[in-house]
Structures are given as structure tokens and as C-alpha cells.
Amino acid sequence: DSVNFTPVKLAPTVSVGIYPDVKIGPTLKTRMSAPLIKSSATGNVGAAEYTIASADLPAYALDQVDEAFSYVASGRYVNNANAKTLKFYIGTVAVMTKAITASQSGDWRIEAEVYSIGTNSQRYSWKFFQDGVVQATSVGNSTLTETTNAAIQLKVTATAPTNNDLSCFAHILNQVL
């Protein structure tokens, strides 16, 4: 499921008295009115890459330096010998690809932050956790050049041969103010 956010208009920026280069107040922006919290289970369907969680950052949400969002997704994987892969996308780029340990069941979690370093330029970081008999943790970070005048989709996909080998039971998108 993908969720879009309602634009919220904020007061315009105004100059302050004898300091015309000092601005008070935010510019006209699209803001999230509340964090997205989704808690219904979605599992992979079929053997092809399948989106199990997604949320859209509003257009212009990352067009100014230091605007930021955090994203957390978590779920389970089942105990069988099937190959299982999770991917995390920011916009069109798969920024994380993780093979899940076969022949064990457990939980997984992805935590990520994405923030603007300029128009159409972002930096991100992510952490991945796999629980089970074999545990795994990894991290990554880099930069992106996603267009900020359109929505940017964050999504988690699962690839596994049997339905519901991988599932997402909750994901949260929050604007960092």
C-alpha cells in the first residue's frame, strides 16, 4: 500500500525590520500533517520482486538543505530453504539489497534517514537488522539525485519463490522538523 500526504500551507517568509536579509517563518511548503504509521501485514506474492511497503515523500519536501525524513520498516521471514531478498528503494534507486538467511525464521528491520543537501540532491543512511539463529546487521550511506519537484517514493520489496516468505507488518514515515 502506498500513502500520499495532504499538502499543508505554511505562512510565507517575511523580512525583519532593519535586517531585510533575515527571514522569519517557513516558505510555502508541502508538509506531512502527521507521521504515516501502517501496521497491516503484507507479504510477497509470486517469485517476482514485490512491493511489501511504500510511502511517498511529498513533492518539494526535500528541496531545501537540511529537510529530512526518517523511515522504519519491519517484518518477518519464514523457515524454509527458499532464497529470499529484501531491497530498500529511495525513489528509483535500490540503496540496499540484502539476502535473508535461508532455513530459519525470524524478524527483519530497516531504519533509514534521507535529507536534503540541496535541490535535487540528497544524502541517506540506512541500518538493516536480521534476527534469528543467524543474526545480521549492516549499514550503508551515500548520496542521491532524486528530483524534488515530484513525490519521492520510499519502498521495501521482497523477492522469494513462495507467497509470504517475506512480510512487512509495520512501517513508519516521519518528517524530521
pLDDT of the chain, 177 residues: tens digit per residue: 444 444 443 334 333 344 344 333 344 445 555 567 777 789 999 999 999 999 988 888 898 898 999 999 999 999 999 999 999 999 999 999 999 999 999 999 999 999 999 999 999 999 999 999 999 999 999 999 999 999 999 999 999 999 999 999 999 998 886
C-alpha cell at 2: 502506498
pLDDT of residue 20: 42
Please give the grid coordinates belonging to residue 4: 500520499
**Residue 68: Cβ within 10 Å count:** 17
- Residue 34: its pLDDT value, please? 54
What's the pTM value of the predicted model, to 2 decimals?
A: 0.80
Identify whether the C-beta of residue 156 lies closer than 8 Å to the C-beta of residue 49: no
**Predicted pLDDT at 33:** 52
User: How far is the C-alpha of 131 from the C-alpha of 149, rounded, in Å?
Assistant: 38
